[in-house]
Amino acid sequence: MTWNSFIYFALPALLLWLGGAWTAWKKRPIPTYLFTVAGLLVYFAFILGMWFSLERPPLRTMGETRLWYAFFLPTAGLIIYSRWRYPWILAFSTLLAGVFTTINLVNPEIHNKTLMPALQSPWFAPHVIVYMFAYAMLGAAALMAAYLLWFKKSEIIEHELDICDNLVHVGWAFMTVGILFGALWAKEAWGHYWAWDPKETWAAATWFAYLAYIHVRLRADRYRRAALWGLIVSFVLLQMCWWGINYLPSAQGASVHTYNMG
């Protein structure tokens, strides 16, 4: 399996997800589940094929992590849908998955098979996959916040803030698991669980920022707009952590996490 065959998996998967989004909008849960799961299976078949042909998990380059991101967005969408039945969530996740898939179709960044010894660990896949899932949830929360802050004309209702809270709780939980998996792995690979590497530093800042949101929301009746702004700012910090440090002068040569360039 190579990137050349990506389109034959990506397009059917996107069409199935679109079908799921449509039936979710029409409030018909059973076809929604069927379509979305079928799309996920098709997409995952490609990821598995890549995994086998590369002889390593496709998690190293930005193009490869986008693949997982595009896979986890509808997964996250389906989980949220099954829990809270938001009719719009699958349309939204399909749209974002479509964006990441298109980037990969236009610019697949074909890479070689090699994987440096430090990345050859059973921790590698869970560490990155859990993170991708967290990014997907927190991305959804940021978009919801943007909608509530800038586009919604009428007053914000409790229910809409609950959506943000639920997304952040799930996203934060996954982010925490991702950080801790990283710490346990770092102890095995680099001798210390936390070395204030630029990636770790930005992860800590992001983690605190989301914690501030979670705690300010304990005073549910107050600071609403400030909390939503907090989600936007936190998501910007998350971008720094994800890819921003690759371009940050202070991290150049100082981070052991900058192997995913290009």
Q: Does 192 bind another protein (CB under 8 A)?
A: yes
Q: Does 27 bind another protein (CB under 8 A)?
A: no
Whichever of 156 and 216 has its CB closer to another protein, that residue is 216
Q: Does 232 bind another protein (CB under 8 A)?
A: no
Q: Which residue in the block uniquely carries the two structure tokens 């990636």?
A: 199
Pairwise CA distance, residues 125 & 173, whole Å: 18
Cα-based distances in Å from 57 to 9, 20, 67, 123, 162: 18, 28, 11, 11, 36
Q: Which residue in the block uniquely carries the two structure tokens 């679109």?
A: 18
Q: Does 83 bind another protein (CB under 8 A)?
A: yes
Q: Which of 211, 256, 258, 260 binds another protein (CB under 8 A)?
A: 211
Pairwise CA distance, residues 170 & 176, whole Å: 10
Q: Which of 183, 256, 257, 258 binds another protein (CB under 8 A)?
A: 183
Pairwise CA distance, residues 230 & 224, whole Å: 10
Closest CA to 80 of 186, 169, 213: 169
Whichever of 30 and 116 has its CB closer to another protein, that residue is 116
Binding segment toward another protein, per CB under 8 A, in 21-29, 36-44, 89-97, 112-120: 112-120
Retrieve residue 72's tokens. Answer: 């986890």
Q: 3-state DSSP call for residue 87?
A: coil
Binding segment toward another protein, per CB under 8 A, in 68-76, 98-106, 143-151, 243-251: 243-251
Which residues in this chain contact another protein in the complex, by CB under 8 A?
Answer: 83, 109, 112-118, 120-121, 162, 165-166, 169-170, 172-174, 176-177, 180, 183-184, 187-194, 196, 198, 201-202, 204-206, 208-209, 211-212, 215-216, 218-219, 223, 237, 240, 245, 248-251, 254, 262
